[in-house]
Amino acid sequence: MTQYIPALTWLKSYDSTQFRDDLIAAVIVTILLIPQSLAYAMLAGVPPEVGLYASILPLIGYAIFGTSRTLSVGPVAVISLMTATSLGSVAQQLNVSYVEAATTLALLSGAMLTIMGVLRLGFITHFLSHAVISGFISASGIIIAIGQLKHIVGIEASGGDLTRLVPSYFNHIDQFHPATFLLGAAVIILLYIAKSFAARGLIALGLKPSIAAPLARTTPIIAVALSIIAVVSMGLEQQGVAITGNIPSGLPSFHLAIPSLELIELLWLPALLISIIGYVESVSVGRTLAAKRQQKVDPNQELLGLGAANLASGFSGAFPVTGGFARSVVNFDAGAVTQASSIMAAVGIGLAALFLTPALYFLPKATLAATIIVAVISLVDWHIFECTWRYSRPDFWAVFTTVAITLSAGVEVGVASGVIVSIALHLYRTSKPHIAEIGRVAGTEHFRNVRRYRVETCRHLYCVRIDESLFFANASYLEDHVLDVVYQRGDVSDIVLNCAAVNEIDFSALEMLEALNKRLSDQGITLHLAEVKGPVLDRLSRGHFLLELSGRVFLTQHDAFKTLSQRQLGGGHE
């Protein structure tokens, strides 16, 4: 059962020491989660209490079925933005509430993740390059930050991308509210100062670094308290500063409302994109933290864990969730050792939903916006442009394209373009693999690229190595390369295709080899293979190619070079 319910693994050896560590981490994470949950609910376009609901049952669902012992799930910035974008389009087409659409989105995402987990599709992360994902998240961070400025300056603005957001700000510039701006700017400055100096200050006061670091990240709750005091004491509500207002007390009402087919048709694609992005982000964070403690995260089981978290979120009337980087790092640094810390944090959020919501009545929206802005600015990775430009121009253009499309067309189009760019980049690279003529290093049995090393070659013998599996996308590329060499040299009598780096040959590549063998044979040129891997050779043996091959299959490149160079009449070494 531990394979399907990983929580049983740590429950078997759970003791009082672990309970103490988890409890301390849970208290710190709960303090962080309260303002985050409210802020990301605002970002997602749903009532603030829905953010609290998204931080109760989902934590318990993941704690039971997830494999990371320190990952903390809940609302996150990018997924909240994608949710808001999805809900906006649905609200324009169907007469449904935002909460109903958000709940449907969470249920669809949970169902999709669960199905992918059952089918063991954890490998889907391999189709998304880190560079493209980094570009998408950076662009999303910029959109989120600029979108939240409206709450800082008191302006009505709308739009899911910069082409709509920026003009909207200029059209409503006359609504600028000085008091709101001063409050929001003060909170941003406070959060940035705390981010830079709070940990050092706590250490100077005598706290251990292991406690000071995560505790310093809970500064948003201090900003919440101070801003509420400022609103009440200075009468800022009467001056026009927007506040959160009444937040219903109590736990979520658990129910399963069957959505309409029309709603599912509109939300299945956004739900799929949210599932993929959320899964990639969560697994990345989970693996990073697990590696620090020499633990393991199972990608397929993580699909089930996140699926359970999103289904739980949907049942409790909330929106999609995933593993958050900031929360998980705080949880890890605070000393959490098992997912019991998440369960305790869920209890803490539940208590807050029951008893603390009346105290949040005067919470300024500018404070929540400031919390979001400070959090998402760290998502913007400008360094990725410099790194990819220096290391790989195709990767740079992939990142640039993803960022440009996301900023100009919105997150849904941006993430879709990111997926397409990732796959296109892979196909581009594999369709034009590295092909090298190789020769023997003098006095050895090693063969290297003739353009990089001084090696021995034979005039009438052409030895070529392809550093990629052969399949439909690159088969013609290899064929054209070989035929070009034959045409240019004119005196080649034997060609050896070194297959040391070939892990697979698909049917299209097999047909190419058959055609190449016949075409070379018609010109009096013999085709040979060398260092063919066992599984590849087994598959080739199922057809007629090896029987019709004009040359031989050599065990090693050295055997091929030695045999063919000695056999060629008049072909001395160069």
Tell whether the model's pLDDT for residue 426 goes beyond 50. yes
pLDDT band at 479 (very low <50, low <70, confident <90, very high): very high
pLDDT, position 571:
45
Domain boundary among 405, 426, 447: 426
The Cα 385–Cα 398 span in angstroms is 10
Inside any domain, residue 351: yes
Rounded to an integer, the average pLDDT of 21-49 is 93
Same domain for 420 and 560, yes or no, is no
The Cα 243–Cα 411 span in angstroms is 28
Q: Three-class SS string for 54-65?
A: CCCHHHHHHHHH
Same domain for 17 and 151, yes or no, is yes
Strands 553-554 and 526-530: parallel
Same domain for 371 and 473, yes or no, is no
pLDDT, position 573:
42
Inside any domain, residue 6: no
Same domain for 355 and 479, yes or no, is no
Token digits for 509? 């590549």
Inside any domain, residue 21: yes
Long-range contacts formed by 238-241: CB under 8 A, 24+ apart: 239/179, 240/154, 240/177, 240/179, 240/180, 241/154, 241/177, 241/179, 241/180, 241/183, 241/364, 241/366
Q: Side chain identity at 465, as an amino acid letter?
A: R
Inside any domain, residue 236: yes
Which of 241, 220, 251, 331 has its CA nearest to residue 285?
331
Q: Lowest-pLDDT range, 172-186, 394-408, 417-431, 497-511?
A: 417-431
- Taking only the tens place, the pLDDT of each residue in 295-306 is 888 999 999 999
Task: Provide the total of helices (H) and of strands (E) in the chain, helices listed first.
Answer: 24, 8
What CATH number did the domain enclosing 514 receive?
A: 3.30.750.24
Same domain for 422 and 447, yes or no, is no
Rounded to an integer, the average pLDDT of 385-413 is 89
Same domain for 505 and 541, yes or no, is yes
Q: Lowest-pLDDT range, 46-50, 240-244, 270-274, 429-433?
A: 429-433
DSSP helix, strand, coil percent of the chain (3-state; round to 5): 65, 5, 30
The Cα 130–Cα 133 span in angstroms is 5
Same domain for 150 and 219, yes or no, is yes
pLDDT, position 574:
43
**Judging by beta carbons within 10 Å of its beta carbon (0-12, 13-18, 19+), is residue 196 exposed, middle or buried?**
exposed
The Cα 459–Cα 572 span in angstroms is 7
Tell whether the model's pLDDT for residue 488 goes beyond 70. yes
Rounded to an integer, the average pLDDT of 201-211 is 84
What are the distances in angstroms from CA 194 to CA 6, 200, 211, 212, 326? 37, 9, 15, 12, 15
Rounded to an integer, the average pLDDT of 540-548 is 93
Answer for the pair 309, 62: CB distance below 8 angstroms, yes or no: yes
Tell me which of 570 and 68 has the higher pLDDT: 68
Tell whether the model's pLDDT for residue 508 goes beyond 60. yes
Q: Lowest-pLDDT range, 59-63, 121-125, 400-404, 554-558?
A: 121-125
Intra-chain end-to-end CA distance of the chain, in Å:
66
The Cα 529–Cα 536 span in angstroms is 12
Give the whole-number percent of the chain exceeding pLDDT 70. Answer: 98
Domain boundary among 426, 457, 483: 426
**Judging by beta carbons within 10 Å of its beta carbon (0-12, 13-18, 19+), is residue 231 exposed, middle or buried?**
buried
Inside any domain, residue 572: no
The Cα 437–Cα 419 span in angstroms is 35
What are the distances in angstroms from CA 164 to CA 143, 296, 332, 409, 495? 11, 44, 39, 9, 60
Rounded to an integer, the average pLDDT of 536-562 is 94
What are the distances in angstroms from CA 215 to CA 69, 202, 363? 20, 9, 22
Inside any domain, residue 450: yes
Tell me if residue 554 falls in helix, strand or coil: strand
The Cα 212–Cα 541 span in angstroms is 65
Matching residue, tokens 């044979």: 521
pLDDT band at 362 (very low <50, low <70, confident <90, very high): very high
Same domain for 341 and 480, yes or no, is no
User: What does the chain come to in residues?
Assistant: 574
Q: Three-class SS string for 491-507?
A: CCCEEEEECCCCCCECH
Give the whole-number percent of the chain exceeding pLDDT 90. Answer: 66
pLDDT, position 569:
46
pLDDT, position 490:
87
| Average of per-residue pLDDT values in the chain | 90
pLDDT, position 395:
86
Tell me which of 417 and 308 has the higher pLDDT: 308
In our burial notation (b when 16+ CB lie closer than 10 A, e otherwise), range 261-272 reads: eebeebbbebbb
Which of 251, 231, 229 has its CA nearest to residue 49?
251
The Cα 462–Cα 224 span in angstroms is 73
Matching residue, tokens 């060629």: 568
Same domain for 140 and 255, yes or no, is yes
Token digits for 227? 């801003």
Domain that holds residue 39: 13-426
Same domain for 392 and 459, yes or no, is no
The Cα 414–Cα 139 span in angstroms is 9
Inside any domain, residue 573: no
The Cα 478–Cα 203 span in angstroms is 62
Question: E strand or H helix at 271, and its extent?
Answer: helix 261-292
- Residue 228 backbone dihedrals phi, psi, to 5 degrees: -65, -45
Number of domains forming the structure of the chain? 2
Inside any domain, residue 4: no
Answer for the pair 195, 215: CB distance below 8 angstroms, yes or no: no
pLDDT, position 568:
60
Tell me if residue 277 falls in helix, strand or coil: helix
pLDDT, position 282:
92
Q: What single DSSP character describes residue 458?
A: B
Which of 517, 518, 519, 528 has its CA nearest to residue 568?
528
Within 10 A of 424 (CB to CB), how many other CB atoms are there? Answer: 14
Rounded to an integer, the average pLDDT of 393-403 is 88
Query: Can you say how many angstroms the Cα of residue 435 is from the centroid of all Cα atoms in its chain?
Result: 32
Answer for the pair 349, 37: CB distance below 8 angstroms, yes or no: yes
Domain boundary among 426, 457, 478: 426
In our burial notation (b when 16+ CB lie closer than 10 A, e otherwise), range 311-338 reads: bbbbbbbbbbbbbbbbbbbbbbbbbbbb
Same domain for 284 and 387, yes or no, is yes
Same domain for 377 and 442, yes or no, is no
